Chains A and B, each alone.
Chain A
Amino acid sequence: MLKALSRRALFGALAATLTFGAGVAHANPATDFVNSFGGQLVSIVNSSKPLGEKKREVLPLLQSNVDIQGIARYCLGRYWRTATPAQQQKYLQLFDQVLVNTITDQIGNYQGVSFRVTGSTPTPDGERVNALIDRPGQPEVNMQLVIGGTPAKVVDMYGEGASLRMNQRGDYSSYLSRHGGDVGALNTALEHQLSNHH
């Protein structure tokens, strides 16, 4: 179960999904988007550059293909309204780093992975693209990316049936409710989390 709960595992699956995208079962704009995004990522990951450089190259790609700001606002929930503009800005910067760090950390861990889109279904949030990820010597991972907005971006991802952004929202809102709704305290905690990241 806890495998299913690991944010890192989910992000890792996302990274693998996007990185090794290949065949498409029934092409539509959402599946095309996933394959295009994955194609760009794979060219970075498969290069012989050092990991640090790969991370720097991946960052703008994620920023342009993942709705980081939308996910960040969703995760903050109602506390977005009570935060000061300065706190909001700080939070967005930190969230950006948290998300990118977690995804890029997985790049080195998913070599030799293959991936195929098995279909997609419409949801209120966007087209939910289903993907099966094969890792050598390990069972398939089933995950879904929700593609929405204009222009199209990744707005959510599901692993083991759980929405990543909903998990994150639960994490943050619980933290905030235990700290008097102080977004400044959340920002401090995120800074601490980032500084301890390794």
Chain B
Amino acid sequence: MDSRQDRIGIRATRSRRGRAIAGVLALLTLGACGSLHKPPPTDPDDLADYKAANDPYEPFNRKMYNVQMWAYHVALRPVAKAWVWAVPKPVRHSISNINETWREPAVFFSDVGAGKPRRAGDSFMRFTINMSAGVAGFFDVASLVGYKQHETDPGMTMGTWGVPSGPYLFIPFVGPSNIRDGAGYAIGQALTPINYVPRGYGLLTFNWAYNILGTVDGFANSVDQIDHLEQDSLDPYSYVRSAWQQNRQSQIDAMQNDHRATTPDWYN
């Protein structure tokens, strides 16, 4: 399994689902009023676990997780398997590359917002090179000339500003998130040019194809990992939650600790 492709694929999948967030947040608000909210336990040990998980809406989130996994088993997994079987690897890589390149503007603005000019410069160069020499993003030429892909999104940027994450959320077809990153995700969608382009019938068709292929490709790259996760965990939901929260914080920490000079390495 190609971890880079995996990351690209999943993020591409996520990038299709921005509009779902507002609805889910609204549902969450309703959920908060009812039995979908888990009240803090009184036992000190239980309370410590409760705070560490940062998941007061766990009953609701588990329902959402179950929805996601139901869809995964009945539809997404079979389609993803067929996709891998039918589509040659170079084509799948190119689709991942397109998704990655077309998200670079959002990465760029997130880097700028975080005050990381070197990262922003890398994003800018990646977009410029891949959209030209990479034939509109089909080929990741930028990586070959030293501009490796990195991920930054508005949620991470807000994290570097010290904005608290808010409670954990699991959003179907988006995956693990929290209030801050959910909002950041919506901002990221607004910063993605492809979302503004399609207007005519032809472009709309293209946009649908782009979204559907990106979604299928994202799941296709993750099927084995999801299967292993389900097989090896006693409670996959909590395993995902723990790993995602740690991973997310480590991404924010890594960005904060990225103090590279603005000039390229060869110049120093």
Instruction: Give the B-binding residues of A (Cβ under 8 A).
Output: 1-9, 78, 102, 138-139, 141, 160-163, 166-175, 177-178, 186, 189-190, 193, 196
Q: Which residues of B contact A9 (CB under 8 A)?
A: 1, 3, 225, 228
Q: A160-B247, A171-B239 are in contact. List 6 more A-B contacts (CB 8 A).
A: A7-B232, A162-B250, A167-B242, A168-B239, A170-B239, A174-B237
Q: A145 vs B240: C-alpha distance in the bound complex, in angstroms?
A: 21
B6, A2: Cβ atoms under 8 Å? yes
Contact A174/B10 with A6-B228, A160-B250 known, Cβ cut-off 8 Å:
no
A162, B246: Cβ atoms under 8 Å? yes
CB < 8 Å neighbour of B222 from A3, A7, A163: A3
Contact with A along B186-224 (1 / 0, CB 8 A): 000000000000000000000000000000000001100
Q: A5 vs B224: C-alpha distance in the bound complex, in angstroms?
A: 12
Q: Which residues of B contact A139 (CB under 8 A)?
A: 2-4
B226 — nearest CB in chain A belongs to which residue? A2
B49, A4: Cβ atoms under 8 Å? no
CB < 8 Å neighbour of A170 from B10, B242, B247: B242
Question: Max chain B CB contacts within 10 Å: which of A6, A160, A168?
Answer: A6
B49, A173: Cβ atoms under 8 Å? yes
B231, A2: Cβ atoms under 8 Å? no
B234, A1: Cβ atoms under 8 Å? no
Q: A172 vs B2: C-alpha distance in the bound complex, in angstroms?
A: 29
A7, B229: Cβ atoms under 8 Å? yes
User: Chain A's nearest CB lies how many Å from the CB of B84?
Assistant: 15
Q: Which residues of B contact A189 (CB under 8 A)?
A: 234
A166, B246: Cβ atoms under 8 Å? yes
B246, A167: Cβ atoms under 8 Å? yes
Q: Which residues of B contact A177 (CB under 8 A)?
A: 46, 49
Q: Which residues of A contact B56 (CB under 8 A)?
A: none
CB < 8 Å neighbour of B45 from A78, A138, A170: A78
Q: Does B35 have its Cβ within 8 Å of any Cβ on chain A?
A: no
A186, B231: Cβ atoms under 8 Å? no
Instruction: Give the A-binding residues of B (Cβ under 8 A).
Output: 1-4, 6-7, 10-11, 45-46, 49, 53, 175-176, 221-222, 225-226, 228-229, 231-244, 246-247, 249-251, 253-254
Q: A136 vs B32: C-alpha distance in the bound complex, in angstroms?
A: 49
Contact A162/B2 with A7-B228, A174-B237 known, Cβ cut-off 8 Å:
no
Q: Which residues of A contact B2 (CB under 8 A)?
A: 138-139
User: Chain B's nearest CB lies how many Å from the CB of A184?
Assistant: 14
Q: A158 vs B11: C-alpha distance in the bound complex, in angstroms?
A: 22
CB < 8 Å neighbour of B234 from A141, A163, A186: A186
B222, A2: Cβ atoms under 8 Å? yes
B228, A1: Cβ atoms under 8 Å? no
Q: Which residues of A contact B10 (CB under 8 A)?
A: 1-3
Q: A47 vs B3: C-alpha distance in the bound complex, in angstroms?
A: 28
Q: Which residues of A contact B235 (CB under 8 A)?
A: 171, 174-175, 178
A167, B243: Cβ atoms under 8 Å? yes
Q: A172 vs B229: C-alpha distance in the bound complex, in angstroms?
A: 14
Contact A1/B7 with A7-B239, A170-B53 known, Cβ cut-off 8 Å:
yes
User: Chain B's nearest CB lies how many Å from the CB of A71?
Assistant: 15
What would be 8 A-B contacts, judged by CB atoms less than 8 Å apart?
A: A6-B229, A7-B232, A7-B239, A160-B247, A162-B250, A170-B238, A175-B238, A193-B232
Q: A168 vs B237: C-alpha distance in the bound complex, in angstroms?
A: 12
Q: A7 vs B224: C-alpha distance in the bound complex, in angstroms?
A: 12
User: Chain A's nearest CB lies how many Å from the CB of B222?
Assistant: 5
User: Chain B's nearest CB lies how many Å from the CB of A156?
Assistant: 12
CB < 8 Å neighbour of B1 from A3, A161, A171: A3
Contact A5/B45 with A139-B4, A162-B250, A171-B233 known, Cβ cut-off 8 Å:
no
B252 — nearest CB in chain A belongs to which residue? A161
